[in-house]
Protein backbone atom coordinates (compact mmCIF):
# COMPACT_ATOMS: atom_id res chain seq x y z
CA UNK A 1 0.00 0.00 0.00
CA UNK A 2 1.34 3.39 -0.96
CA UNK A 3 1.69 6.10 1.66
CA UNK A 4 -1.23 8.51 1.36
CA UNK A 5 -1.24 10.25 4.77
CA UNK A 6 -4.46 8.45 5.73
CA UNK A 7 -4.42 5.97 8.54
CA UNK A 8 -7.55 3.99 9.37
CA UNK A 9 -8.28 4.75 13.00
CA UNK A 10 -8.51 2.17 15.76
CA UNK A 11 -11.47 2.39 18.13
CA UNK A 12 -13.22 5.06 16.06
CA UNK A 13 -14.54 5.57 12.53
CA UNK A 14 -13.91 9.25 11.77
CA UNK A 15 -10.36 9.57 10.42
CA UNK A 16 -10.39 13.36 10.19
CA UNK A 17 -12.76 16.31 10.18
CA UNK A 18 -15.61 17.48 12.38
CA UNK A 19 -18.98 16.10 11.33
CA UNK A 20 -22.26 17.44 12.65
CA UNK A 21 -23.68 14.98 15.19
CA UNK A 22 -27.37 14.38 15.89
CA UNK A 23 -28.65 11.58 18.09
CA UNK A 24 -31.35 9.35 16.58
CA UNK A 25 -33.21 6.30 17.87
CA UNK A 26 -32.24 3.13 15.98
CA UNK A 27 -35.24 1.44 14.37
CA UNK A 28 -35.48 -2.23 13.45
CA UNK A 29 -34.77 -2.00 9.73
CA UNK A 30 -31.37 -3.66 9.48
CA UNK A 31 -27.90 -4.18 10.95
CA UNK A 32 -27.06 -0.78 12.48
CA UNK A 33 -23.28 -0.93 12.25
CA UNK A 34 -21.09 2.13 12.82
CA UNK A 35 -19.98 3.69 9.54
CA UNK A 36 -23.08 2.56 7.64
CA UNK A 37 -25.47 4.92 5.89
CA UNK A 38 -28.76 5.53 7.66
CA UNK A 39 -32.14 6.83 6.55
CA UNK A 40 -35.04 8.56 8.25
CA UNK A 41 -37.06 6.03 10.18
CA UNK A 42 -40.76 6.02 11.03
CA UNK A 43 -40.43 9.29 12.95
CA UNK A 44 -38.09 12.22 12.36
CA UNK A 45 -35.93 11.19 15.32
CA UNK A 46 -35.59 7.57 14.13
CA UNK A 47 -32.83 6.27 11.85
CA UNK A 48 -32.14 2.90 10.33
CA UNK A 49 -30.21 0.99 7.70
CA UNK A 50 -32.23 0.18 4.59
CA UNK A 51 -31.89 -2.19 1.66
CA UNK A 52 -30.90 -0.95 -1.80
CA UNK A 53 -34.53 -0.93 -2.96
CA UNK A 54 -35.29 1.80 -0.42
CA UNK A 55 -32.54 4.01 -1.81
CA UNK A 56 -34.55 4.76 -4.94
CA UNK A 57 -36.81 7.26 -3.16
CA UNK A 58 -34.81 8.09 -0.04
CA UNK A 59 -31.50 9.86 0.41
CA UNK A 60 -29.44 8.87 3.44
CA UNK A 61 -29.54 11.33 6.34
CA UNK A 62 -26.00 10.50 7.42
CA UNK A 63 -23.62 7.87 8.74
CA UNK A 64 -23.93 5.94 12.01
CA UNK A 65 -21.22 7.21 14.32
CA UNK A 66 -19.30 5.32 16.97
CA UNK A 67 -16.92 7.37 19.10
CA UNK A 68 -19.60 10.06 19.52
CA UNK A 69 -22.07 7.64 21.19
CA UNK A 70 -22.98 7.95 24.84
CA UNK A 71 -21.47 5.21 27.00
CA UNK A 72 -24.84 3.59 27.77
CA UNK A 73 -25.55 2.89 24.07
CA UNK A 74 -22.06 2.58 22.58
CA UNK A 75 -21.35 -0.87 21.10
CA UNK A 76 -18.33 -2.78 22.43
CA UNK A 77 -16.35 -2.01 19.25
CA UNK A 78 -16.82 -0.41 15.85
CA UNK A 79 -17.73 -3.79 14.28
CA UNK A 80 -20.70 -4.36 16.63
CA UNK A 81 -24.20 -3.18 15.71
CA UNK A 82 -26.40 -0.90 17.75
CA UNK A 83 -29.55 -2.55 19.12
CA UNK A 84 -33.06 -1.50 18.17
CA UNK A 85 -34.09 1.34 20.47
CA UNK A 86 -30.53 2.52 21.14
CA UNK A 87 -29.79 6.21 20.71
CA UNK A 88 -26.96 6.47 18.20
CA UNK A 89 -25.04 9.41 16.74
CA UNK A 90 -25.79 10.19 13.09
CA UNK A 91 -22.99 12.10 11.37
CA UNK A 92 -23.45 14.47 8.44
CA UNK A 93 -22.38 17.84 7.10
CA UNK A 94 -19.73 16.60 4.67
CA UNK A 95 -16.04 17.44 4.58
CA UNK A 96 -14.95 14.65 6.91
CA UNK A 97 -13.26 11.31 6.26
CA UNK A 98 -15.00 8.25 7.64
CA UNK A 99 -14.31 4.52 7.43
CA UNK A 100 -17.29 2.87 5.73
CA UNK A 101 -17.99 -0.50 4.10
CA UNK A 102 -17.85 -1.24 0.38
CA UNK A 103 -19.66 -4.14 -1.24
CA UNK A 104 -19.20 -5.65 -4.71
CA UNK A 105 -16.93 -2.90 -6.06
CA UNK A 106 -13.28 -2.23 -6.76
CA UNK A 107 -12.89 1.38 -5.68
CA UNK A 108 -10.04 3.54 -6.86
CA UNK A 109 -8.91 6.66 -5.06
CA UNK A 110 -11.06 9.59 -6.24
CA UNK A 111 -13.97 7.42 -7.40
CA UNK A 112 -17.51 8.58 -6.62
CA UNK A 113 -19.55 6.20 -4.48
CA UNK A 114 -23.28 5.98 -3.79
CA UNK A 115 -25.62 4.14 -1.42
CA UNK A 116 -25.74 0.37 -1.76
CA UNK A 117 -27.39 -2.45 0.16
CA UNK A 118 -27.40 -2.61 3.95
CA UNK A 119 -25.97 0.88 4.38
CA UNK A 120 -22.80 0.08 2.44
CA UNK A 121 -21.33 1.97 -0.50
CA UNK A 122 -21.06 0.95 -4.14
CA UNK A 123 -19.89 2.56 -7.37
CA UNK A 124 -21.96 5.32 -8.98
CA UNK A 125 -23.52 4.17 -12.24
CA UNK A 126 -24.91 6.34 -14.99
CA UNK A 127 -26.81 3.69 -16.95
CA UNK A 128 -30.55 4.08 -17.44
CA UNK A 129 -32.65 6.75 -15.82
CA UNK A 130 -31.28 8.71 -12.91
CA UNK A 131 -32.28 7.57 -9.44
CA UNK A 132 -31.10 8.14 -5.90
CA UNK A 133 -28.82 5.13 -6.45
CA UNK A 134 -26.71 7.24 -8.81
CA UNK A 135 -26.29 10.26 -6.51
CA UNK A 136 -22.68 10.47 -5.27
CA UNK A 137 -22.50 10.65 -1.47
CA UNK A 138 -18.81 9.86 -0.93
CA UNK A 139 -15.43 9.85 -2.65
CA UNK A 140 -12.98 6.97 -2.14
CA UNK A 141 -9.82 8.23 -0.46
CA UNK A 142 -7.93 4.99 -1.12
CA UNK A 143 -8.00 2.16 -3.65
CA UNK A 144 -9.73 -0.96 -2.29
CA UNK A 145 -10.75 -4.31 -3.79
CA UNK A 146 -14.15 -5.26 -2.37
CA UNK A 147 -15.31 -7.30 -5.37
CA UNK A 148 -15.55 -10.57 -3.44
CA UNK A 149 -16.09 -9.49 0.17
CA UNK A 150 -17.21 -6.56 2.28
CA UNK A 151 -14.19 -4.31 2.84
CA UNK A 152 -13.63 -1.12 4.83
CA UNK A 153 -12.58 1.99 2.90
CA UNK A 154 -11.72 5.54 3.97
CA UNK A 155 -14.12 7.89 2.17
CA UNK A 156 -14.72 11.63 2.05
CA UNK A 157 -18.35 12.30 2.99
CA UNK A 158 -20.37 14.53 0.66
CA UNK A 159 -23.45 14.43 2.91
Q: Output the CA angle 96-124-117, nearest 5 degrees.
A: 80
CA–CA distance, 39 with 58 (Å, rounded to integer): 7
120 and 136: one domain? yes
The residue out of 72, 92, 112 marking a domain boundary is 92
Q: Same structural domain for residues 35 and 50?
A: yes
**pLDDT value of residue 105:** 83
Residues 83 and 143 in one domain: no
Contact 14/97 with Cβ under 8 angstroms?
yes
Q: Which of 92, 123, 138 is the last residue of a domain?
A: 92
Whether the CB-CB separation of 153 and 140 falls below 8 Å is answered with yes
Domain count for the chain: 2
Same structural domain for residues 46 and 103? no
User: Do 138 and 121 touch, CB atoms closer than 8 A?
Assistant: yes
User: What one-character-per-residue DSSP string does 98-147 give?
Assistant: EEEEE-SEEE-TT-EEEE-GGG-EEE---SSS--GGGS--EEESS-EEES
- Does 83 lie in the same domain as 32? yes
Domain that holds residue 86: 18-92
Predicted TM-score of the model (pTM) = 0.88
- 7 occurs within a structural domain: no
Q: What pLDDT, on the 0 to 100 scale, is given for residue 30?
A: 76
Q: Are residues 112 and 80 in the same domain?
A: no
79, 35 Cβ separation under 8 angstroms: no
**Position 12 in a domain:** no
Q: Is 31 among the domain residues? A: yes
Mean pLDDT (10-residue bins), the chain, 159 residues:
70 95 88 92 85 65 96 94 95 95 89 89 73 80 88 94
Amino acid sequence: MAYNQLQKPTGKIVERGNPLVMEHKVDSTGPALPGRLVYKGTNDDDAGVKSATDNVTNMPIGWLGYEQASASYKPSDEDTAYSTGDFAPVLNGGHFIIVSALSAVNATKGQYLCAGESGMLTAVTTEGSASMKSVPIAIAMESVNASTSITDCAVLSLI
